[in-house]
């Protein structure tokens, strides 16, 4: 009988980022900036999304960013709720939400997402980042793999997991296996993460959702997405839109940016294949929980 993998006190049920090579028509998946698992607590009572740093990443930086994430606000973020004890193996846990990483969702869908889904992502992620910036923080790790698609809306994770401290203490793009296409040019040049850098990364992530890659040709995007993505990907941060402008353009009549019911995240916001895959994940995890329970 196979030995159950354990990380900290948790028993791993499955990896969150799974290979979908069987979907030969799907886009190539950009890497995740951390190792992510669905896991169970020792008493079999709780299911969590558990993250650990990549093998060559700085565990101290990883844990510092995870600690900061505990204080993040907003409905579309997944802050850490439990951290590894100091001096031990680095990991952090968040409440489990049945969801697919954005690259996996494209693979399951067999290609890019519909415009409605991408626009819903734009509004929800812009709202999440606006709240974060209001807390005087920058995410610094927005990329396709950082976005999880759940039935009721997206979740944004991987807060700062892409950062690694340089010799002068300035956070730099240094951890292994990361999606450098989402990195703002000013941060690639060694600058500190800034809110307008998150806007650039948001544009690259939306481009990926709509086309399967982060630097699409103009003809690959609809008119509304072409304008939005192009402005977000401006090399000069001063030419990028404010998050409030993005929300105002796409949800002008909404006080909360993403209302329930007939809003962007209403029924049908996700393609049927992705909805089915999320439901299958939830059922599979439930079945595995029975086996792992004491």
pLDDT in tens, 201-236: 999 999 999 999 888 887 899 999 999 999 999 999
**Residue 203 contacts residue 93 (beta carbons within 8 Å):** no
Contacts of 136 (CB under 8 A, 6+ apart): none
Per-residue model confidence as pLDDT tens digits over 90-114: 999 999 999 999 999 999 999 999 9
pLDDT range class, residue 273, cuts 50, 70, 90: very high
CA distance 125 to 131: 10
Per-residue model confidence as pLDDT tens digits over 112-153: 999 999 999 999 999 999 999 999 988 888 999 999 999 999
Per-residue model confidence as pLDDT tens digits over 20-69: 544 445 556 677 888 999 999 988 889 999 999 988 888 888 898 899 89
CA distance 141 to 257: 22
Q: Which CATH superfamily is domain 6-292 in?
A: Transferase(Phosphotransferase) domain 1 (1.10.510.10)
Domain chopping of the chain, boundaries: 6-292
Residue closest to 229 by CA, chosen among 240, 245, 237: 240
CA distance 212 to 178: 16
**Residue 102 contacts residue 208 (beta carbons within 8 Å):** yes
- Find the farthest-apart pair of alpha carbons in the chain and give their distance in angstroms, rounded: 58
pLDDT, position 188: 80
**What are the phi and psi torsion angles at 194 (to 5°)?**
-130, 160
**Residue 14 contacts residue 87 (beta carbons within 8 Å):** no
pLDDT, position 57: 82
Contacts of 252 (CB under 8 A, 6+ apart): none
pLDDT range class, residue 159, cuts 50, 70, 90: confident
pLDDT, position 108: 95
Per-residue model confidence as pLDDT tens digits over 160-196: 655 443 444 444 444 444 467 788 888 888 788 899 9
Running DSSP on this structure, what letter comes out for residue 89? -
**pTM of the predicted structure, to 2 decimals:** 0.88
Report DSSP letters for 118-143, one per residue.
Answer: HHHHHHHHHHHHHHHHHTT------S
pLDDT, position 261: 45
CA distance 92 to 89: 10
CA distance 251 to 242: 14
**Residue 174 contacts residue 181 (beta carbons within 8 Å):** no
**Residue 45 contacts residue 293 (beta carbons within 8 Å):** no
Please enumerate, as own/partner, the contacts of 172-176 that have beta carbons within 8 Å and a separation of 24 or more.
Answer: 174/58, 175/33, 175/53, 175/54, 175/56, 175/57, 175/58, 176/54, 176/55, 176/56, 176/57
Contacts of 253 (CB under 8 A, 6+ apart): none
């Amino acid at each position: 009988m196979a030995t159950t993998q354990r990380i900290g006190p948790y028993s791993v049920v499955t990896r969150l980022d799974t290979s979908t090579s069987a979907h030969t028509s799907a886009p190539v998946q950009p890497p995740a900036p951390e190792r992510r698992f669905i896991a169970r607590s020792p008493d079999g009572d709780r299911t969590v999304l558990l993250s650990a740093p990549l093998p060559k990443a700085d565990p101290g930086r990883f844990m510092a960013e995870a600690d900061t994430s505990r204080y993040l606000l907003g409905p579309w973020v997944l802050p850490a709720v439990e951290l590894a004890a100091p001096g031990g193996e680095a990991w952090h846990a968040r409440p489990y939400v049945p969801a697919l990483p954005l690259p996996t969702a494209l693979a399951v869908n067999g290609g890019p997402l519909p415009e409605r889904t991408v626009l819903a992502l734009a509004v929800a992620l812009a709202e999440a980042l606006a709240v974060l910036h209001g807390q005087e923080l920058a995410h610094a790790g927005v990329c396709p793999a950082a976005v999880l698609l759940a039935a009721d809306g997206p979740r944004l994770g991987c807060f700062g997991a892409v950062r690694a401290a340089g010799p002068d203490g300035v956070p730099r793009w240094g951890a292994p296996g990361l999606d450098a296409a989402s990195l703002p040019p000013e941060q690639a040049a060694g600058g500190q993460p800034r809110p307008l850098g998150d806007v650039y990364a948001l544009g690259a992530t939306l481009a990926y959702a709509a086309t399967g890659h982060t630097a699409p040709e103009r003809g690959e995007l609809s008119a509304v997405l072409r304008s939005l993505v192009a402005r977000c990907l401006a090399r000069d941060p001063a030419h990028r839109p404010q998050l409030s402008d993005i929300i105002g353009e796409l949800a002008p009549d909404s006080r909360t940016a993403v209302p329930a019911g007939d809003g962007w995240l209403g029924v049908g916001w996700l393609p049927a294949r992705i909805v089915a895959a999320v439901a299958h994940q939830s059922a599979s995890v439930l079945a595995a929980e029975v086996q792992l329970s004491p």
